[in-house]
Structure 1
Amino acid sequence: MSCAWKSSVVFAVVAMLLASSSAAVAGEKCAKSSVTAVSHQKEDKMDIVDTAVEAGSFKTLVAAVKAAGLVETLKGKGPFTVFAPTDEAFEKLPSGTVETLLKPENKDKLVAILTYHVVAGNVKAADVVKIKSAKTVQGQTVAIDAADGVKINDANVVKADIDCGNGVIHVIDAVLIPKE
């Protein structure tokens, strides 16, 4: 093996090592986004909670899920179908309702309301329009009307089929309240 060839190989190896270590240092700040990009390419999807957080329009819902102690459940395997009210939907409730529900002494009522928004299974829009009701995780049923758009009780579905790693979210414009 000639000296010139050996030094070329050594130079190439050193250059590769330097390049990879420089890339690692330079890429440290965006490592999470790179991992996320790779994950999405592999068809891995965020769970329901992370999807709601990232959307930015479910801050009240996410706060309620945290206060109710349901984060781990909704990050679980599922699958779940969530009828997710937007922040604007929560604003339609009478003044002080959300604040009252978020108090620790009202946790049971908050859990009942939130689980009334969840159906076990992965129910897509194409399935929802074929049924008249669905049993919620809370135990009661919600009425489904697909005659003019899709309504869940009195709430309109404003966006359907947000796929998540552990289910699906359908965005609604009102908070569903179970019967007492």
Structure 2
Amino acid sequence: MLKSILKTSSAAIVAMSLGFAAAPALADGHGAKMNIVETAIASDAHTTLVAAVQAAGLVETLQGDGPFTVFAPTNDAFAALPEGTVETLLEPENKDMLTKVLTAHVVAGDVRAADLIAAIEANGGSYEFEAVSGDTLKAEIRDGNVFIIDENGNAGQVTAADLAQTNGVIHVVNAVLVPK
């Protein structure tokens, strides 16, 4: 489980008012204490993601300087994939495919909830951006909640936002984004 202290900031207030879950920050107010991988490892809700990152050989990359923005699917999100999908992706011969799926959840830079919401609003209700995988993701606000949509139309709701890390930020999503 994430060990966290709820920090109130203008971004968190904006995020909460638009349907994000309250954003627990692993920080002392200005600086985070853990990197993206360390935080994922500390989360009981992200054990499948951690196993996938390890199998893809992305641990060192995601512990790097960044900054990175990670849309982190929960264990439940992975469990919702068709039966056998996770097991197949974790097989060594499918490392390239697994890497593509995982990097479809990563954006170069530090994208905070308030910035993402502002971009959605400035672009008429939908904002497209590129994942590290090269795939296009889209962000929209639906019924007061922020969703990240992959190129196949699969949408993951952001359930926790602005989890500050030493090398970027994590936003928790309730679906796995699948690249084309």
SS in 2 for 1:178: coil
- Structure 1 segments of 4+ aligned residues over 2 angstroms from their partners: 39-44
Normalising by structure 2, we get a TM-score of 0.75
Q: Which residue of 2 aligns with 1:101?
A: 89
Instruction: String of CA shifts for 1:102-138, please: whole Å, max 9, x gaps.
Output: 0010000000000000000000000111230111000
The 8 Å contact of residues 32 and 164 in structure 2, kept in 1 or not, is answered as: no
Q: What does 1:15-94 align with in structure 2 at a 5 Å threshold? A: 43-94=31-82
Q: Which residue of 2 aligns with 1:167?
A: 168
Q: What does 1:126-141 align with in structure 2 at a 5 Å threshold? A: 126-131=114-119, 132-141=127-136
Alignment RMSD, CA only?
Answer: 1.6
The 8 Å contact of residues 101 and 178 in structure 2, kept in 1 or not, is answered as: yes
Could you tell me which amino acid in structure 1 is paired with residue 93 of structure 2?
E
SS in 2 for 1:58: helix
> Which consecutive unaligned segments of at least 5 residues does structure 2 have?
1-26, 120-126, 150-154
Percent identity at matched positions? 55
> Which consecutive unaligned segments of at least 5 residues does structure 1 have?
1-38
> Kindly tell me: are residues 161 and 67 of structure 1, through their superposed partners in 2, closer, same or farther at Cα, counting changes over 3 Å?
same
Could you tell me which amino acid in structure 2 is paired with residue 163 of structure 1?
A
Greater share of residues in strand: 2
Whole-Å separation in 1 of the counterparts to 2:30 and 2:82 = 44
Whole-Å separation in 2 of the counterparts to 1:144 and 1:43 = 27
Normalising by structure 1, we get a TM-score of 0.75
Q: Which residue of 1 aligns with 2:138?
A: 143
Larger Rg: 1
Q: How many residues align?
A: 141
Greater share of residues in helix: 1
